[in-house]
Structure 1
Amino acid sequence: MPGLIARIKAFSRSPQGRRAISEARRAASDPRKRAQAKQFLGRLRGRR
């Protein structure tokens, strides 16, 4: 049974993983999406 890191590496090399990475990069470059993510993480951490 491969470790977690090995499974993540294998996923990132797959076509689905590459697609997910490109979508994440595109979302990270959008200031509105970045603000939404920051707000969401703040809620998870208990800050508003």
Structure 2
Amino acid sequence: MSLMQRISTFLRSPKGQQLVDRGRRELAKPDNQQKLKGLAARLSNRRR
């Protein structure tokens, strides 16, 4: 079984669904969105 297949199987499992839901809740928080935007800006500046 390839790595992608294992990840896909995990994400369809109940524990995987809990992890996905938790991630969505965390990403909905304004503080975390601001942190991600800052990280994306830093990463894009490195590429130049």
**Under TM normalisation by the shorter chain, which class is it?**
0.5 to 0.7
**TM-score with structure 2 setting the length:** 0.67
1:1-48 deviations in whole A, cap 9, x for unaligned?
Answer: x101100110001111000000001111111122234445667787xx
Q: Report the counterpart of residue 19 of structure 1 in structure 2.
A: 18
Q: 2 CA distance for matches of 1:30 and 1:17?
A: 21
Q: Report the counterpart of residue 4 of structure 1 in structure 2.
A: 3
**TM-score with structure 1 setting the length:** 0.67
Across the aligned residues of Structure 1 and Structure 2, the Cα RMSD in angstroms comes to 2.0
> In percent, how many aligned pairs have the same letter?
31
